[in-house]
Structure 1
């Protein structure tokens, strides 16, 4: 039986699924906050943000497509099966119940519900909201065959329609000159580098690795079985979906930059989004933002819990997809009630550690044909990336840990001996060196 030939409408539905899974909690608040931080340097900062928040996730999808991988495990397996399993667990723990998935509930609560709740009832309200939120996520996610219709055909188009209203108002009736705002200290001389690091907070590069299995499963359910055709469909739909995200990011960063003409620098993008929606639509803006945040975060939460359950069920088949889904939703509910600020604080050092390893793995996957998928190239590059990534993680630890004597000694060493450590890129020259050494060894070994 021949594979079904996908039409343009099919690619757009898959692209909508990809957009919906990616675009949620951090994707709304971090670009807006970046616009405020960068002020008049928002274009330079946006370029850095787009590199880490758009280009690298797209490369991750293309790497999965090029290597015909089923997801994170297959992509990392050339390093070693044990490393691939550990890396899969770390990525899914970060995207799943420890950080990203709970954040979808706390961000939507902070934007849509918290402003109307008295402080003394805030904890109770968050508990009730997050319980209902993850109950809805579980209900929509328990049947894998429904993900295309739930996200690709229903929730994401609704989300885009709501978002378009704010964008049109911001473009045709801007709050002021986007270049007039004063950049914060970090964005005066290093706007691009800080914009790049801000893109880590979206977790999209990690999400692209995790969502690979969900995208491939959805394509298979559309009637495509051939591995080559699945890879091609993944690449095409991924490109459409990620480019759509890029356009939304630029619009959000622009809104953040123009908001400085009306509002002071806020503590986070959630506050700024609330101010913007009220500025344009008054009380109706509050309702719109609540709907926008809830729908956007629901689609991302669904994508995250589904990818988690699919990957772990594949690796540990003795437990069912449904059992992993219940576990993730319940643990995410518990973590969500720790609050948004605490989740973000502890997620940053983990991202500073995982992102370099993810980026190097993505590049290795894309270039694997250059070295015949030689395991040694994978291993040397990964080892050279791992060490400075640990130092970057230590630097980003909360003060309660980063100010301890041992950590301070290690950070002083890194500051003195690791190039680019001060701007968060200590891993980059080491990763490049490891790749060059691995590639050189591969070429020499083939000649002898």
Structure 2
């Protein structure tokens, strides 16, 4: 007899898997860096950060549950099959071999291994470390059905114990008062907005809409078969997993803000995290930090490449699941050796384009019962979101491209034409306006249709 719902133990197991595959490289370094940037305004900045990095992933799970879809392709399909496939490829390329997955190797190396090596050895050190890292990821991910047990039962508890130890030491002996830490200029007046944008860097929102197929597969493997029950179980587990992530974010942001009393503002959160751990644990902290970051990044890398291989094998069945796993690992290995700073700098403009499209798609998925999943609503809203989001992307380009005459002219045009562009939200008014216009068209069309039938 099939189960109609998950037991509490199995719900927590799926929640642990969701936690493990979402929480990884950027989830350690970006919250701490945000705390340093926001200083005394860390609470308002963390509110914005939690909306885009914790609430948005939960909304993504709800959207997948409400629409009864299995991932990003089906969620975007009402816009058109071609757009859905293109969006899936762009999201998976971002989360996969070009940005997020390579970062899962460069972050633990940069903050746990590199400090123990002379600078002349950083290149060869990263090469060796990333090769071993992705070999392990590939080996553990070959059997996709085992991902729940591997992540939920073994890797997550080890990681949580290590992270809890650091938090406990920090609470017992604080570095200083976060409330009296100096905030940078950008966070003195727009801390919520900047915290929201900083949440893009974690890529949690994009990750959540791609993990749908992995979550659904895991729920079904535990005996849940009916679509309604699968959706409810996935949403419930997602809420628990995301809540755990949000609690850790708050602790990391507070830790970053309080660290300003002992350490200067660093270029990235990895440096700050290494300094904090060394402060409390001395030389032994380096080994602890290397272990902690490697474990959490291994779990994230596994989740990302499994979701990548599952989705691409589904749409390109002539290529095997294992081949997609191997290709992803090989390309990720290559991009990882470009270094952490290059990966972060070049990912920002891509995220400024993809996130507005993903946010509008998630919200429309949640509200889809209101407009009966009408493709017209999806298409109009997406089109009007895409235009200003393209200019947000251009504005976030690295300086080598942003400072060209053509790009500066486009930025000047956008500053005059799009409300909130200077805050990074040039897309917001267009998305809301497009959605309202699309709803009016939908209900007018329905009213006309029913009036015609009555006649």
Give the TM-score, by structure 1 length. Answer: 0.99
> 2-side partners of 1:172 and 1:219: how far apart?
40
Deviates more, 1:215-224 or 1:10-19: 215-224
Deviations, residues 241-263 of structure 1 (Å, cap 9, x unaligned): 00000000000001001101111
Q: In the alignment, which residue of structure 2 is the partner of 1:114?
A: 114
1:5-84 to structure 2, matched below 5 A, reads 5-84=5-84
SS at match of 1:113: helix
> 2-side partners of 1:398 and 1:127: how far apart?
25
Deviations, residues 216-236 of structure 1 (Å, cap 9, x unaligned): 111111121111111011000
Q: In the alignment, which residue of structure 2 is the partner of 1:440?
A: 440
1:308-387 to structure 2, matched below 5 A, reads 308-387=308-387
Equivalent residues of 1:175, 1:258 under 8 A apart: yes
> 2-side partners of 1:262 and 1:391: how far apart?
39
SS at match of 2:123: helix
> 1-side partners of 2:159 and 2:210: how far apart?
22
SS at match of 1:202: coil
1:407-426 to structure 2, matched below 5 A, reads 407-426=407-426
Q: CA deviation at 1:18?
A: 0.4
Q: CA deviation at 1:322?
A: 0.4
SS at match of 1:412: helix
The reply on whether 1:393 has 2:396 as its aligned counterpart is no
Deviates more, 1:76-85 or 1:404-413: 404-413
> 2-side partners of 1:5 and 1:247: how far apart?
27
> 1-side partners of 2:4 and 2:128: how far apart?
44
Q: CA deviation at 1:122?
A: 1.1
SS at match of 2:317: coil
> 2-side partners of 1:161 and 1:66: how far apart?
35
Q: CA deviation at 1:405?
A: 1.6
Give the TM-score, by structure 2 length. Answer: 0.98
> 1-side partners of 2:254 and 2:410: how far apart?
39
Q: CA deviation at 1:417?
A: 1.1
Equivalent residues of 1:4, 1:222 under 8 A apart: no
Equivalent residues of 1:16, 1:152 under 8 A apart: yes
1:109-258 to structure 2, matched below 5 A, reads 109-258=109-258
> 1-side partners of 2:427 and 2:70: how far apart?
27
> 1-side partners of 2:202 and 2:5: how far apart?
34
For structure 1, list consecutive stretches of 5 or more residues without a partner in the other structure.
none
SS at match of 2:373: coil
Q: In the alignment, which residue of structure 2 is the partner of 1:94?
A: 94
Q: CA RMSD in A?
A: 0.8
SS at match of 2:407: helix
Aligned residue-pair number: 448
Q: In the alignment, which residue of structure 1 is the partner of 2:290?
A: 290
Hey, which bits of structure 1, 4+ residues long, moved more than 4 A?
none
For structure 2, list consecutive stretches of 5 or more residues without a partner in the other structure.
449-455
Q: In the alignment, which residue of structure 2 is the partner of 1:276?
A: 276
SS at match of 2:34: helix
| Residues 1:5 and 1:362: Cα distance change in structure 2 (over 3 Å) | closer
> 1-side partners of 2:118 and 2:110: how far apart?
13
Q: CA deviation at 1:5?
A: 3.9
Equivalent residues of 1:112, 1:287 under 8 A apart: yes
Q: In the alignment, which residue of structure 1 is the partner of 2:452?
A: none
> 2-side partners of 1:119 and 1:280: how far apart?
25
Q: CA deviation at 1:406?
A: 1.4
Deviations, residues 343-399 of structure 1 (Å, cap 9, x unaligned): 000000000000000000000000000000000000000001000000000000011
Deviates more, 1:326-335 or 1:212-221: 212-221
> 1-side partners of 2:89 and 2:7: how far apart?
36
Equivalent residues of 2:34, 2:45 under 8 A apart: yes
> 1-side partners of 2:329 and 2:219: how far apart?
25
> 2-side partners of 1:280 and 1:373: how far apart?
54
> 2-side partners of 1:391 and 1:5: how far apart?
45
> 1-side partners of 2:365 and 2:279: how far apart?
46
SS at match of 2:183: coil
Q: CA deviation at 1:4?
A: 6.0
Equivalent residues of 2:46, 2:192 under 8 A apart: yes
